[in-house]
Amino acid sequence: MVTEMQETSKQKPPVLVVDIGGTKIIISVLSPEGEVIARQYLLTLADQGPQSVIERMFSAIDQLLEEKDVKSAQLRAISLATAGIIDIKQGLITTSPNLPGWENIALRSIVEEKYKLPTFLLNDADAAALGEHRYGVGKGLSTLILLTLGTGIGGGIIIDGRLYLGATASSAEIGHMVIDANGPECKCGHSGCLETLASGTAVAREAISKINQGEKTTLVDRVNGNIEEISAETVYLAAIEGDPLSLEAIAKAAYYLGIGVVNLVNIFNPEMVVMGGGMANMGDLLLEPVREKVKERAFPFLAKEVRIVPAQLGNDAGIFGAAAFALDY
Amino acid sequence: MVTEMQETSKQKPPVLVVDIGGTKIIISVLSPEGEVIARQYLLTLADQGPQSVIERMFSAIDQLLEEKDVKSAQLRAISLATAGIIDIKQGLITTSPNLPGWENIALRSIVEEKYKLPTFLLNDADAAALGEHRYGVGKGLSTLILLTLGTGIGGGIIIDGRLYLGATASSAEIGHMVIDANGPECKCGHSGCLETLASGTAVAREAISKINQGEKTTLVDRVNGNIEEISAETVYLAAIEGDPLSLEAIAKAAYYLGIGVVNLVNIFNPEMVVMGGGMANMGDLLLEPVREKVKERAFPFLAKEVRIVPAQLGNDAGIFGAAAFALDY
């Protein structure tokens, strides 16, 4: 009987997960079955540099554990998801465009030393892919690709039901697939990457450029004339009320996103492509043109099984995936 | 002792393999260790249609088995590699650009019925990837991507030491990754695919276009003025003797091939990218600019382990891979 009790879900030690994004940090305690025992947000304040961010993260973790009366020794593991190019084997953030100053930060061992617990570190888009696969829209599938559509575009790949990691155990940088060799410059130094053509930043940039060319739009009033404040979200809100300029800016991003997804279908022949990140909230306005493009342009035999769907877990995909990673690996 | 003898390689039944290409068919009998017991070529004569090709293939198989005194019952399996979009589960050639008229041909069951042996069918680039992984330049690696650079561009992906097959168990169509959204039209109906920018056809087309624009070259004499006879091979032969137009045509293909490989490195983080097909014979003239581009443009952490190398098994990669497929699956 004792053995049986120990094997029920409530007896299994929970995992502490942290998702460090460019804007905010989510800290959560999750059961192995994906029940949220505790959850808290704080601002990243990334421009204060890694040391400050890590210190505030530690304070927030300690406070959350104290509030919930969880001792760190009761935890099974800690799992951290962050933006950037992660060396999973070494537990390093090698570089992270949205976390300035995070160059070769050995975050895994820093956390491991403080809490004396098995600690994991992975890329946030990889975590989101794993989260949607284990607890979200992709449950039970073998092959799934997730794109996080936000300021940038990240990617995670599930193959044979497991997170795909390559030779150096790092993430898929699908956002930096070149789809327009002669296209605009990308932050990565290359030209015509998917990210620079189809991210939220691309949508806002396109809208602002059209305004600067003198086109009329309701967007200007929405931001009280402060054109630089226009974001992909503002453009979306104007688009659903029929603003033609906003509809065009989103259609242009959807066109390029469609080409990117055609490439992924032709290369991976996946069961599902999941769209996460803030832009996924645009729903069918963004996804329907992508589905049309895939129907029109991918090889029919490769495209026939694929479903192109929005993510289900929203901002929490990363914490669920980070938990799954700690439980799996 | 008897058991031991049965387990030596010579006692294990061999596999009959057939590689049906657009130009020629290779038939071979291979031991499980990859020893070539017999091998024969015949012309495909693809324009005579599938039925004629299949009949001549059967005659050639029967003749080869008779010559080598191998009874079909002594064979372990038959494995067929062909160009085109293959439905591996159903054993169908769904469509094949280089085999006109091969639409939904159930080649696996046609062969199975005749020889009453376990029969396998896979894409030729997938077979080449498996061949190079099992018997060639990629032995022992976990992650490898092979491109066949010829009239078109095919691709095969090895992940975790196994051939990667997606949701519909078909091949990777890496040649139809769009890398220049506003680029020239491709045979597949899309624009700016890797194949239309970096294949042997692209090299020849570029050279012919420059000649038509009035540029000087030794190529014209090489083909006795029959400009339409210029092939990637002619261009290569002129290039190694220093013909500037030919060098430029190859450099242009290498530029686009480099972008394609940067994408593959950023997406897959592979240990090796293997270049097969006729154009791989161009060696470093083609591959060195690709390596430079990857060094310059892929994420350094993802690119640091990757080797970009020519295939080792040449035209026989497909038959070795087809044999490996029959032995594995």
Q: Tens of pLDDT along A47-93? A: 999 999 999 999 999 999 999 999 999 999 999 999 889 999 999 99
- Asked if B295 contacts A161 with a C-beta cutoff of 8 angstroms, the reply is no
Residue A325 identity: F
Which residues, 6 or more positions from A200, have their beta carbon under 8 angstroms from its beta carbon?
Answer: A149, A150, A151, A231, A232, A233, A277, A278, A279
Q: With 0-12 CB in 10 A as exposed, 13-18 as middle and 19+ as buried, what is A11? A: exposed
Would the CB atoms of B181 and A259 count as touching at under 8 Å? yes
At residue B222, does pLDDT exceed 60? yes
Would the CB atoms of B174 and A267 count as touching at under 8 Å? yes
* CA A278/CA A151 separation, integer angstroms: 9
Average pLDDT on B226-236 reads: 96
| A-B contacts (CB, under 8 Å) | 136
Would the CB atoms of A182 and B177 count as touching at under 8 Å? no
Residues of A in contact with B96 (CB under 8 A): none
Q: Which of A178-187, A239-248, B67-76 reaches the highest mean pLDDT?
A: A239-248
A165 touches B: beta carbon within 8 Å: yes
Average pLDDT on B244-266 reads: 98
Which residues does residue A86 pair with via DSSP β-bridges, in sequence order? A93
- B291/chain A closest Cα distance in angstroms: 16
- Asked if A260 contacts A275 with a C-beta cutoff of 8 angstroms, the reply is no
* CA A265/CA A262 separation, integer angstroms: 5
Please give the order of strands across the beta sheet that includes B36-43: B36-43, B24-30, B15-20, B77-82, B119-123
Nearest to B299 among A173, A182, A269 (CB): A173
Nearest to A269 among B168, B190, B306 (CB): B168
Nearest to A176 among B160, B172, B266 (CB): B266
Which residues does residue B309 pair with via DSSP β-bridges, in sequence order? B274
A102 touches B: beta carbon within 8 Å: no
Which of A179, A40, A83 is CA-nearest to residue B267? A179
> Which of A24-33, B4-13, B86-95, B304-313 comes out lowest in average pLDDT?
B4-13
* CA B200/CA B211 separation, integer angstroms: 17
Average pLDDT on B10-21 reads: 87
pLDDT value for B11 = 61
Q: Which of B102, B267, B268, B294 to mutate to test the interface with A (most CBs of A within 10 A)?
A: B267
Would the CB atoms of B179 and A174 count as touching at under 8 Å? no
Residue A191 identity: S
Residues of B in contact with A294 (CB under 8 A): none
pLDDT in tens, B118-145: 999 999 999 999 999 999 999 999 999 9
Residue that the structure tokens 């060195």 belong to: B288
At residue B246, does pLDDT exceed 90? yes
Determine what percent of chain B is predicted with pLDDT higher than 90.
84
Mean pLDDT rounded to a whole number for chain B: 93
Would you call B29 helix, strand, or coil by DSSP? strand
pLDDT in tens, B147-159: 999 989 999 999 9
